[in-house]
A and B are shown apart, each in its own frame.
Chain A
Amino acid sequence: MNDARSSNENVIVAEGLTRVFTGRPQRGSRLRRTRHVAVDHLDLTVRAGESVGYIGANRAGKSTTIKMLVGILVPTDGRVTTAGLHPLRQRRALARRVGVVFGQRSQLWWDLPVRESFTILAAIHGLSAAQERERTAELVEMLEMGEYLATPVRQLSLGQRMRAEVAAALLHRPELLILDEPTIGLDVLSKQRLREFLVAQRREHGTTLLLTTHDMGDVERLCDRILVVDHGRLAFDGTLDGLARTVGARRELVVDLAVETPDLLDVAGTEHVRSESGGLRQRLAFDPQRTTAARVLAAVSERVEVLDLSIEEPDIEDVVREIYRATR
Chain B
Amino acid sequence: MAEVRAQLRAYRAVLASRARSQASYRASFRMDLVGALAIGVIEFTEVWVLYTATDQIGGFTLTQVLLVFGLADVAFCLADLVAGHCDRLPVYVRAGTLDVFFLRPQPVLAQLVTSDLSLRRLARSLVGVAALTVGLVLNDIEWGVGAVGLLVLSLVCGFVIFTAQFVTAAGLQFFLINGAEMTNAFVYGGRYAATQPATVWPRALLVVFGTVFPVAFAAFLPVSTLLGVPGVSGLPTWLGWCAPVAALWAVVVAGLCWRRGLRHYRGAGG
Contacts and interface: CB of A to CB of B under 8 A. Distances in A.
Interface residues of B, number: 24
Contact of B10 (A104, A105, A111, A124): A124
Interface of A: 19, 21, 67, 70-74, 76, 88, 91-93, 95-96, 98, 100, 102, 104-107, 109, 111-112, 116, 119-120, 123-126
B27 to A, nearest CB: 15
B261 to A, nearest CB: 14
Nearest to B98: A72
Interface in B150-200: none
Contacts of B97: 105-106
B96 interface: yes
22 contacts: A19-B267, A72-B99, A91-B102, A92-B107, A96-B105, A102-B96, A102-B99, A102-B100, A105-B97, A105-B100, A106-B97, A107-B100, A107-B103, A111-B21, A112-B17, A120-B13, A123-B14, A124-B13, A125-B104, A125-B105, A126-B9, A126-B10
A95 B104 contact: yes
A93 B102 CA distance: 11
Given A109-B17, A116-B17, A123-B12, A70 B105 contact: no
Interface string B97-119: 10110111111000000000000
B203 interface: no
B268 interface: yes
B105 A95 contact: yes
A314 to B, nearest CB: 31
Contacts, number: 72
Contacts of A105: 95-97, 99-100
Given A21-B267, A74-B268, A105-B95, A92 B106 contact: yes
Interface string B244-270: 000000000000000000010011100
B49 interface: no
